[in-house]
A and B are shown apart, each in its own frame.
Chain A
């Protein structure tokens, strides 16, 4: 029998004024998965996470987290959910030890070993006040406070935001440490695609408040493809309307197209342009992601434009 998902939302919608921040979101996060929630700034990731935790009321729709209604999350459910906020805000007047002691009193399953281990990983002095910690150290402290209660579900909102590469790596390593333990679910948003690539099983992408992607990471990488068409002269305008076209960049004698679900129909339409050469170019997750969330439609590469202008001058 299938386990119910750790997170499940249907038609989840939130408006701020007349602008939708999240629109008609349908999502299932399987238990035990590492789920990356991606999107550009302002796409609705944080709002979704805050709705999941009952910090913001949805305008419409419903959802459950660990089997509990998100509009009425009971205290025992909160004890099983760890939440790491994006700016790692804590009480500046507390020191590291006090933060741990403060948090430990609310969680019966508090694991002091984990807290001290994470704190040690980030070289945190127990007597240092939070306001004197660097951003990376504060992130580490927040992570320790989030992991020590041994949550079943860990929700992290862009945990590496603003961290230097070393701190970011340390944080991800700590997260991997947790994922080794069975049955834990991690749901996190991030802009660090290299980190996502390292740890995520599945991804979801929000584009301007609407969910466009929800699949395993590999499926996404395979679905977004770049095709390079070489022409002996100038590529013929206009680019044909092929299904799933994300971007078309025109340079001297070349047309680069990025498509979703590139298939036989699309290839046929492109071959009709009679290119001298047509080749598929592999994409990294970052390239695929950027292409997916970049501006849609045809545009000239900015350098190519500059180059062509330079060439046109006598």
Chain B
């Protein structure tokens, strides 16, 4: 094996070196942009452009790594096979006293070493540069490496997909490259899941499928027949996923080309005068804006139905707080975001002329000197600790970052206060101190606090949600208004309030948790309270829930097509995750019915093809189950995998028979030897 590994390394070293050069160039460019960004901040020429742009490991790098590793991995795998594609060179490689599996693994080991050279090495250099103090004025922790690690690992799935593509004896315009679909799906899914371990599982699964399919194809010289059973299964699985990607792509293409209806939705909206309207977008037709009695809202000037743009100008600003009273709420929130999002780790809380203050997920504000780009210390509720990132006290995740309003008032970011579970602190960054602004009493807990700004001032009030009450405080700490938090947490956790034109008047909405509402069959209403400064609640009402459920007939045609081609087997996933409750909560029977109908048709086609090609009864049944589970993508995978044997009329019964069996399926006769023509010369 060592000899073959050495041969592979030498043969494809140039590919890895080329990749190394390209990737290093890309990484250097990204690093230079980041350092330039901080240089501009220090000189006052630039402004803050988002947390992810400051920390490349969470911003530009993951996408660059993903794209590069996908291309490099697939190209490397394909080239490793393509360079020996000539049948004589292939024979020279294969015909030696070494099993095909050992030859395959020699290739894979060499390929992965080259992949490490072309992808891992430059990235390690980049990580070292980012981590080094004085280079980037932004927090670093090893967890931030996970997104690029996922990109690197996805590249290995692409590598196997490249191998498989090079090996498959199929047409380019047919199913040869379908294996790449597994890598694409693993790539997308691994980026979408919240936890890193789930991403690892998905990548492992993708790698096992494409790797197994490539191994099996290597053993059989690229054909389906002649592979071991596990190889055939892996190949069919990769073709299945690839077919699913193709079906979705074609559907999306059709969707973009064909006239489409709107996706139906509906919601409530409060206007600046305190009235509530219902906005409904049907699948076909224009948006309808009606009052709660169902009367269309008309433009006072024209008398015509109000347009959405005009209506939005009348809509009230809507700051909101997502209440959370769980123990260690700050960690809970931090972990709620995806493993690759910058918000999971830190967020820039405020920037002073010489310091960048980051709220870190350990609950403290980390200070970085803008000029030297070095860490200075951290600030917690009990004060500033120079040179240390840790402390026994911690702030909760700041509310409202990234938030925005649509009116005069807006959520304040940067903010002035940070909260713990029991108190809200006002922070003075010049003196690096924190003082109590609001303290919960009688064992009450704080579930969220949000500073509100206006165009004239960056702090006009602070909106605080505790277990028992919802209140608004002025910057001097005086209570503006207070109402009880009812209906209560946890069924209701979304609190927003609308700032009205009328001075010191507000509307407070208490919204049910989405999942709880879904599980209750969309029966939980929204609770609305009109409040006034110094007076508290004026009146309240309940608005019926606007269900997320959409009827089949309401959906646009393309949406119906998409739902039809979703394999029925995919509906089993929520069933496995949530049990039979999923049948009621997550699965819409119309979708299932459409999907199963398509799958049954596909199973019929597959059955017919199997019969025509004289599949065994067991084989027919297995494929039928496969088609019923995987529908249209399953049928495409079946057609891609099978190498249909030729058929000839049987010399005895005259019925068509496949040529790859020793006996006729109909009459059991053997194949007749080739007909003699009288010129044969055989040694007696």
Per-residue CB proximity of B1-33 to A under 8 Å, as 1/0? 001000100110000000000000000000000
Q: Which of B82-90, B333-341, B379-387 contacts A (4 or more CB under 8 A)?
A: B82-90
| Residues 77-120 (chain B) with a chain A CB within 8 angstroms | 86-92, 94-99
Interface size on B, residues (CB 8 A): 39
Chain B residues with CB under 8 A of A86: 88
Q: How far is the CA of A291 from the CA of B10 in the complex (A)?
A: 51
Interface flag for B674 (CB, 8 Å): yes
Instruction: Name the one of B86, B659, B679 contacting A246, with C-beta atoms under 8 angstroms.
Output: B679
Chain A residues with CB under 8 A of B94: 55
Instruction: Name the one of A56, A76, A89, A296 contacting B92, with C-beta atoms under 8 angstroms.
Output: A89
Q: How far is the CA of A83 from the CA of B89 in the complex (A)?
A: 12
Instruction: Name the one of A55, A75, A219, A260 contacting B91, with C-beta atoms under 8 angstroms.
Output: A55
Contact B99 A215 (CB under 8 A): no
A60 to chain B, nearest CB (A): 6
Interface flag for A17 (CB, 8 Å): yes
Contact B11 A93 (CB under 8 A): yes
Contact B220 A59 (CB under 8 A): no
Interface size on A, residues (CB 8 A): 55
| Residues 215-251 (chain A) with a chain B CB within 8 angstroms | 215-216, 219-220, 223-224, 243-244, 246
Q: In the complex where A24-B671, A60-B661, A102-B7 touch, is A55 in contact with B679 (Cβ < 8 A)?
A: no
Q: Which of B221-229, B244-252, B575-583 contacts A (4 or more CB under 8 A)?
A: B221-229
Interface flag for B646 (CB, 8 Å): yes
Per-residue CB proximity of B641-684 to A under 8 Å, as 1/0? 00001110000000000011110000000010110011111110
B7, B87, B91 — most chain A CB neighbours (10 Å): B91
Q: How far is the CA of A78 from the CA of B661 in the complex (A)?
A: 28
Contact B3 A102 (CB under 8 A): yes
A36 to chain B, nearest CB (A): 14
Interface flag for A190 (CB, 8 Å): no
Residue of B nearest to A90 (CB): B92
Chain B residues with CB under 8 A of A57: 220-221, 223, 225-226
Number of A-B pairs whose CB atoms are under 8 Å? Answer: 119
Chain B residues with CB under 8 A of A103: 96
Contact A56 B221 (CB under 8 A): yes
Residue of A nearest to B226 (CB): A57
Instruction: Name the one of B11, B97, B678, B683 contacting A244, with C-beta atoms under 8 angstroms.
Output: B678
Q: How far is the CA of A60 from the CA of B98 in the complex (A)?
A: 26
**Is chain A's interface secondary structure helix, strand, loop, or mixed overall?**
mixed
Q: How far is the CA of A17 from the CA of B643 in the complex (A)?
A: 9
B89, B92, B645 — most chain A CB neighbours (10 Å): B92
Contact A214 B679 (CB under 8 A): no
Chain B residues with CB under 8 A of A115: none
Contact A213 B92 (CB under 8 A): no
Instruction: Name the one of B88, B95, B660 contacting A88, with C-beta atoms under 8 angstroms.
Output: B88
Instruction: Name the one of A23, A60, A215, A260 contacting B660, with C-beta atoms under 8 angstroms.
Output: A60
Q: In the complex where A55-B221, A85-B92, A261-B681 touch, is A75 in contact with B10 (Cβ < 8 A)?
A: no
Q: How far is the CA of A81 from the CA of B91 in the complex (A)?
A: 13
Q: How far is the CA of A59 from the CA of B647 in the complex (A)?
A: 12
A115 to chain B, nearest CB (A): 15
Q: In the complex where A23-B674, A55-B90 touch, is A214 in contact with B99 (Cβ < 8 A)?
A: no
Q: In the complex where A17-B646, A86-B88 touch, is A215 in contact with B683 (Cβ < 8 A)?
A: yes
B10 to chain A, nearest CB (A): 7
Q: In the complex where A24-B673, A91-B7 touch, is A107 in contact with B88 (Cβ < 8 A)?
A: no
Chain B residues with CB under 8 A of A75: 97-99
Contact B659 A219 (CB under 8 A): no
| Residues 204-236 (chain B) with a chain A CB within 8 angstroms | 220-221, 223, 225-226
Instruction: Name the one of A15, A56, A60, A106 contacting B97, with C-beta atoms under 8 angstroms.
Output: A106
Interface flag for A283 (CB, 8 Å): no
Contact B681 A219 (CB under 8 A): yes
Contact A85 B681 (CB under 8 A): no
A19, A55, A76, A214 — most chain B CB neighbours (10 Å): A55
A69 to chain B, nearest CB (A): 13
Q: How far is the CA of A224 from the CA of B680 in the complex (A)?
A: 10
Q: How far is the CA of A202 from the CA of B223 in the complex (A)?
A: 35
Chain A residues with CB under 8 A of B3: 102, 105-106
Q: How far is the CA of A90 from the CA of B674 in the complex (A)?
A: 37
A177 to chain B, nearest CB (A): 22
Interface flag for A112 (CB, 8 Å): no
Q: How far is the CA of A75 from the CA of B96 in the complex (A)?
A: 7
Contact A213 B88 (CB under 8 A): no
| Residues 86-128 (chain A) with a chain B CB within 8 angstroms | 86-91, 93, 102-103, 105-107
Residue of B nearest to A242 (CB): B678
Chain B residues with CB under 8 A of A214: 681-683
Residue of A nearest to B102 (CB): A75
Interface flag for A79 (CB, 8 Å): yes
Q: How far is the CA of A303 from the CA of B96 in the complex (A)?
A: 51
Contact B95 A81 (CB under 8 A): yes
Chain A residues with CB under 8 A of B226: 57
A81 to chain B, nearest CB (A): 7
Residue of B nearest to A212 (CB): B680
Q: In the complex where A18-B646, A215-B683 touch, is A93 in contact with B91 (Cβ < 8 A)?
A: no
Chain A residues with CB under 8 A of B97: 75-76, 78-79, 106-107
Chain A residues with CB under 8 A of B95: 53, 55, 78, 81, 83
Residue of B nearest to A28 (CB): B683
Chain B residues with CB under 8 A of A20: 646, 659
Chain B residues with CB under 8 A of A212: 677, 679-681
A78, A79, A81 — most chain B CB neighbours (10 Å): A78
Residue of B nearest to A87 (CB): B88
Contact B88 A260 (CB under 8 A): no
Chain A residues with CB under 8 A of B98: 75, 78, 106
Contact B96 A15 (CB under 8 A): no
Residue of A nearest to B647 (CB): A18
Contact A24 B674 (CB under 8 A): yes
Chain B residues with CB under 8 A of A224: 681
Residue of B nearest to A149 (CB): B97
Instruction: Name the one of B86, B91, B221, B662 contacting A60, with C-beta atoms under 8 angstroms.
Output: B662
B107 to chain A, nearest CB (A): 14
Contact A215 B646 (CB under 8 A): no
Chain B residues with CB under 8 A of A87: 86, 88
Chain A residues with CB under 8 A of B680: 212-213, 260
B1 to chain A, nearest CB (A): 10
| Residues 1-47 (chain A) with a chain B CB within 8 angstroms | 11, 13, 15, 17-20, 23-24, 26
Chain A residues with CB under 8 A of B647: 18
| Residues 281-314 (chain A) with a chain B CB within 8 angstroms | 292, 296
Instruction: Name the one of A11, A15, A19, A213 contacting B681, with C-beta atoms under 8 angstroms.
Output: A213
Contact A85 B91 (CB under 8 A): yes
Q: How far is the CA of A78 from the CA of B226 in the complex (A)?
A: 19
Contact A15 B659 (CB under 8 A): yes
Chain B residues with CB under 8 A of A79: 96-97
A123 to chain B, nearest CB (A): 22
Chain B residues with CB under 8 A of A175: none
Chain B residues with CB under 8 A of A219: 681, 683
Contact A89 B673 (CB under 8 A): no
Q: How far is the CA of A212 from the CA of B676 in the complex (A)?
A: 8
Chain B residues with CB under 8 A of A78: 95-98
A112 to chain B, nearest CB (A): 16
Can you pick out 11 interface pairs between chain A and chain B where the beta carbons lie within 8 Å of each other? A20-B646, A20-B659, A26-B673, A60-B671, A78-B97, A88-B88, A91-B89, A105-B3, A107-B97, A215-B682, A246-B679
Kindly list the 10 A-B residue pairs having the minimum CB-CB distance in the complex, ordered from nearest: A85-B88, A79-B97, A89-B88, A89-B89, A18-B646, A215-B683, A210-B674, A105-B3, A57-B226, A260-B679
* Sample of 14 more A-B contacts, CB < 8 Å, known A59-B659, A212-B679: A11-B671, A18-B647, A55-B91, A55-B94, A57-B223, A57-B226, A85-B91, A88-B88, A89-B88, A90-B92, A102-B3, A103-B96, A106-B3, A212-B680
